[in-house]
Amino acid sequence: MDDFEAGKERPGAVERPSESGAAAESGAAAPGRGGRMSRRRKMAAVLRLLRGEDLETVSRSLGVTAATLTTWRDAFLSAGEAALTTRPESGDALENERLKAKLGEVMIERDLLHEKIAVLESGRPLARRRRRP
C-alpha cells in the first residue's frame, strides 16, 4: 500500500487557507484561481475591506488577487457615489436623449418608405385587399 493512500500528505502539498466571512458561514467553498464569484460574494468581500479587514487577508481567504479586490472595491464605491447624486440631468442631456429618440423614429419611417418605393417600382401590388362579403 502506498504511503499517500494511507492518509499522509504529499510532499509539496499546499495547505489551503480556510475561508472567513459570509461565504464561510454559508458553507460555500472558495473558488480559488479560475473560479467565478457571485455578485453577493464580491459584495461581501468588498464590505469586509470597508469594515477594515486587511486587503491581503481577504485576498488570501478568497483566493483572488489584491488587484482584483481593489477593482471590485473601486467599482462598488463609484456606483454608490453615482447613487448619491441629487442633481437632475442637465437640460442638454435630456434634449440629446429626446432628439436621439426622434431620430430613431424618423430613420425607421424612412426605411419603411424605401421598402414601399422598391415594391412600387417592381410593379407588385403593395397588399391585396380582401373583398367584403
d(CA 38, CA 31): 10
d(CA 64, CA 49): 13
Please state at what angle helix 55-62 crosses helix 66-83, rounded to 10 degrees. Answer: 110
- The gap from C-alpha 25 to its chain's centroid, in whole angstroms, comes to 25
Q: For residue 72, which of 44, 46, 39 has the smallest C-alpha distance?
A: 46
- Which cell numbers hold the place of 95? 434634449
pLDDT of 33 reads 53
Q: What is the pLDDT of residues 88-99, one digit of tens each?
A: 667 788 888 889
For the chain, how long is the longest CA-to-CA vector? 93
pLDDT of 70 reads 93
Are the C-beta atoms of 41 and 47 separated by less than 8 Å?
A: no
Q: What is the pLDDT of residues 118-127, one digit of tens each?
A: 888 887 666 6
- Which cell numbers hold the place of 57? 487577508
Give the mean model confidence (pLDDT) for residues 49-72: 93
CATH code of 22-83, in short, is 1.10.10
- The gap from C-alpha 16 to its chain's centroid, in whole angstroms, comes to 29
d(CA 70, CA 8): 38
